[in-house]
């Protein structure tokens, strides 16, 4: 079974924007062995080019079959914005990843609602897709905080943690196993993008064009 065949079990863009359901049949083992799936979680508030570059680097360097973009259910508050509806973040994420056959939208945590812990999410995926191996993608800041994650010892047994390391960052020093991938440095943050929109400044070349248009169309992060 090819990646293209597997992808057909995921939502089309139109279906994703209507109800964001997810089916167990989405992932099946390939003939060559176990399916390899990367997961990039986050608020994606909004998704930006740094997220896409991170996922692309990990997907290519680790030869993953797919990378799932998984928005969280509830984003934290930040200066200059109200918490936006999760449906907006799902739609922006779908627009951001459209056109890349490696990428998939994974709405599990949004559909589940409430506060989601990574260990609970990974228990679900490991149970639902026993023929797949999972690679959970994190930045170096998150890697340094792994000791604070809920049931981190079990999590490291469920999934391979993958750290994205940028030039000039301090070496990682922790007992928790992390597989490191090097990535070019892109100084873009969702917080800064929200602030720029709030101040009516340009965000061109920081988010995909379709995401920029969506933000403007729905008046997200605006002071008006």
Cα dihedral 52→19→214→3 (10° resolution): 30
Provide the β-strand partners of residue 138: 163
Whether 14 shows a pLDDT value over 50: the answer reads: no
Residue with tokens 């812990």: 117
Q: What pLDDT, on a 0 to 100 scale, did the predictor assign at position 9?
A: 36
Considering only the C-alpha atoms of the chain, give the largest distance between any 2 of them, rounded to a whole number of Å: 54
Q: What pLDDT, on a 0 to 100 scale, did the predictor assign at position 83?
A: 64
Residue 214's contacts (CB-CB under 8 Å, 6 or more residues apart) are: 88, 91, 92, 95, 220
Q: What pLDDT, on a 0 to 100 scale, did the predictor assign at position 204?
A: 96
- As a whole number of angstroms, the distance between CA 122 and CA 90 comes to 20
Between 28 and 149, whose confidence is greater?
Answer: 149
- How many CB atoms are closer than 10 A to CB 182? 12
Percent of the chain with pLDDT over 90: 67
Q: What pLDDT, on a 0 to 100 scale, did the predictor assign at position 167?
A: 74
- Gap between the terminal Cα atoms of the chain: 50
pTM: 0.82
Q: How does pLDDT run across 113-138, given as a tens digit for each residue?
A: 988 999 999 999 999 999 999 999 99
Q: What pLDDT, on a 0 to 100 scale, did the predictor assign at position 187?
A: 83
What the chain holds in terms of domains, given with CATH numbers, is 3-217 (3.40.50.620)
Q: How does pLDDT run across 71-127, given as a tens digit for each residue?
A: 998 744 444 445 688 999 999 999 999 999 999 999 999 999 988 999 999 999 999
Residue 17's contacts (CB-CB under 8 Å, 6 or more residues apart) are: 90, 91, 94
Task: For 190-205, give one letter per residue: b (16+ CB within 10 A) or e.
Answer: beebbbebbeeeebee
Q: What pLDDT, on a 0 to 100 scale, did the predictor assign at position 24?
A: 35
């Amino acid at each position: 079974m090819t990646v293209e065949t597997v992808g057909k079990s995921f939502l089309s863009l139109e279906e994703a924007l209507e109800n964001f359901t997810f089916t167990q049949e989405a992932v099946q083992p390939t003939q060559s062995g176990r399916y390899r799936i990367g997961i990039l979680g986050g608020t994606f508030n909004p998704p930006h080019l740094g997220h896409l570059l991170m996922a692309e680097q990990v997907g290519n360097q680790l030869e993953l079959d797919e990378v799932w973009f998984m928005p969280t259910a509830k984003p934290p508050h930040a200066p200059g914005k109200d918490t936006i509806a999760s449906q907006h973040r799902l739609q922006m994420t779908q627009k951001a990843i459209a056109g890349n056959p490696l990428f998939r939208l994974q709405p599990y945590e949004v559909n589940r609602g409430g506060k989601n812990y990574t260990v609970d999410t990974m228990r679900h995926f490991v149970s639902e897709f026993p023929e797949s191996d999972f690679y959970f993608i994190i930045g170096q800041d998150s890697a340094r905080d792994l000791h604070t994650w809920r049931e981190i010892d079990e999590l490291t047994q469920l999934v391979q943690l993958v750290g994205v390391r940028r030039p000039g960052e301090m070496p990682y020093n922790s007992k928790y196993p992390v597989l490191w991938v090097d990535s070019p440095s892109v100084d873009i943050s969702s917080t800064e993008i929200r602030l720029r929109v709030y101040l009516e400044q340009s965000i061109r070349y920081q988010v995909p064009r379709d995401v920029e248009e969506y933000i403007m169309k729905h008046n997200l992060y605006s002071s008006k």
